[in-house]
Amino acid sequence: MLILNKTTGVFSNLSKGKNYEFLRSFNIQPGKLFLHKLVLGIETSCDDTAAAVVDETGNVLGEAIHSQTEVHLKTGGIIPPVAQQLHRENIQRIVQEALSASKVSPSELSAVATTVKPGLALSLGVGLFFSLQLVDQFKKPFIPIHHMEAHALTIRLTNKVEFPFLVLLISGGHCLLALVRGVSDFLLLGKSLDIAPGDMLDKVARRLSLIKHPECSTMSGGKAIEHLSKQGNKLHFDFKPPMQRAKNCDFSFSGLQHVIDKTIMQKEKEEGIEKGQILSSAADIAAAVQHTVACHIAKRTHRAILFCKQRDLLCQSNAVLVVSGGVASNLYIRKALEVVTNATQCTLLCPPPRLCTDNGIMIA
């Protein structure tokens, strides 16, 4: 019997016994033959209900996502029971849409993979409960997924990246630097001691009432800050990057956020406006905030690269820094990181924006 050889992509002859063993590892339905194992990935750790079907070679067969951003923007932040309710209302439809887009039925899956940690407990619970019912009904294996590990490995779907590599995850809920030595072998080099950069940018954007700004009303806080920064002058305010003397790779954003809050309050007094109205200097503040956040992230990352190079922990011929998470879509922050990677002879890689943020593909 002729079958497709997975690794070489050519047809080859196998002995009869081996044929059956080989074929058993695939999903064969009448009239349908999938040449690779199929995994359904389900993500509900925060405020996105997402699902995708990916095969073992990394081909994405189909995906679906429901974002709760609009709802949470109105309430000024994520309220866990609200996020849980929205996940409950959408999970069935999103999984169905991902399967339909993939033209795959649940019985054709090889396994179901679901985020089990870290995240909001109420949100995680919805995905987990749904997945356990599904695997029970269709008698499929269940693969528990660590959300951060999935983020860190996503780059391997789009780029040929060998282990080890350095990863920087920066989003609304995450902030860490880690050395990725293998699929489940991570060395944590640094993390935020308080809040994540996206969380801080969201809080500053809220304090500046950017949701009332005609150009920013539908944007996340971080995106609104990036957008407004282009119209501002970063030199009009002087915020100091945090932890300049700390001899480690950790981050901190809440002290900086308090300093910015105080400055905004001061400016409101000077301009004689109430809290909730937009300052004439909002764009300048946004530009200075973005610059300071970029400096802080770049400096900590620089330390991590130097640490790894000193101890020969990265690939000598091609040291790679992967940057992912919602904040990684900020082009100013990327530029700052590019300066660092150019100076240290590293390659900077970022997954495309839709894979930087939470999605079902990275879980599958």
The footprint of ligand KG4 (CB under 6 A) covers 46, 171-174, 198-199, 201-202, 220-223, 226, 325-327, 329-330, 357-358
Partner that binds at residue 63, options ligand KG4, Zn ion, none, CB closer than 5 to 8 Å by kind: none
Looking at residue 277, the DSSP 8-state letter turns out to be B
Cβ 253 to ligand KG4, closest distance in Å?
11
Nearer to ligand KG4, 113 or 333 (CB): 333
* Interface with Zn ion, residue 199, by CB under 5 A: no
Distance between CA atoms of residues 73 and 174, nearest Å: 19
By beta carbon distance, the residue nearest Zn ion is 358
* Interface with Zn ion, residue 226, by CB under 5 A: no
Which stretch in 35-43, 90-98, 238-246, 352-360 sits in contact with Zn ion by CB under 5 A? 352-360
Nearer to ligand KG4, 15 or 231 (CB): 231
Cβ 172 to Zn ion, closest distance in Å?
8
Partner that binds at residue 154, options ligand KG4, Zn ion, none, CB closer than 5 to 8 Å by kind: none
Cβ 147 to Zn ion, closest distance in Å?
6
Strand ranges for the chain from DSSP E: 2-4, 11-13, 28-29, 32-33, 38-43, 48-55, 60-67, 111-117, 142-146, 165-170, 175-182, 185-191, 319-324, 346-349
Cβ 36 to ligand KG4, closest distance in Å?
28
Q: Which residue do the tokens 């200075």 mark? A: 288
Asked if residue 43 lies in contact with residue 360, where contact means CB atoms within 8 angstroms, the answer is: yes
Cβ 65 to Zn ion, closest distance in Å?
13
Contacts of 311 (CB under 8 A, 6+ apart): none
Partner that binds at residue 223, options Zn ion, ligand KG4, none, CB closer than 5 to 8 Å by kind: ligand KG4
Asked if residue 297 lies in contact with residue 246, where contact means CB atoms within 8 angstroms, the answer is: no
* Interface with Zn ion, residue 358, by CB under 5 A: yes
Partner that binds at residue 172, options ligand KG4, Zn ion, none, CB closer than 5 to 8 Å by kind: ligand KG4
Cβ 205 to ligand KG4, closest distance in Å?
7
The closest of 116, 96, 94, 112 to 104, measured between CA atoms, is: 96
Record the tokens describing residue 330, joined without a space. Answer: 């900020």
Q: Helix crossing, 221-229 with 282-310: angle to 10°?
A: 110
Nearer to Zn ion, 110 or 329 (CB): 329
Concatenated DSSP letters for 179-233?
EEEETTEEEEEEEBSS--HHHHHHHHHHHTTGGGSTTTTTS-HHHHHHHHHTTS-
Cβ 293 to ligand KG4, closest distance in Å?
8
Nearer to ligand KG4, 27 or 324 (CB): 324
Name the 3-class secondary structure at 40.
strand
Nearer to ligand KG4, 164 or 190 (CB): 190
Nearer to ligand KG4, 109 or 333 (CB): 333
Nearer to ligand KG4, 38 or 152 (CB): 152
Cα 126–Cα 52–Cα 321 angle in degrees, nearest 5? 100
Distance between CA atoms of residues 136 and 134, nearest Å: 5
Distance between CA atoms of residues 41 and 51, nearest Å: 5
Nearer to Zn ion, 314 or 363 (CB): 363
Binding site for Zn ion (CB under 5 A): 358
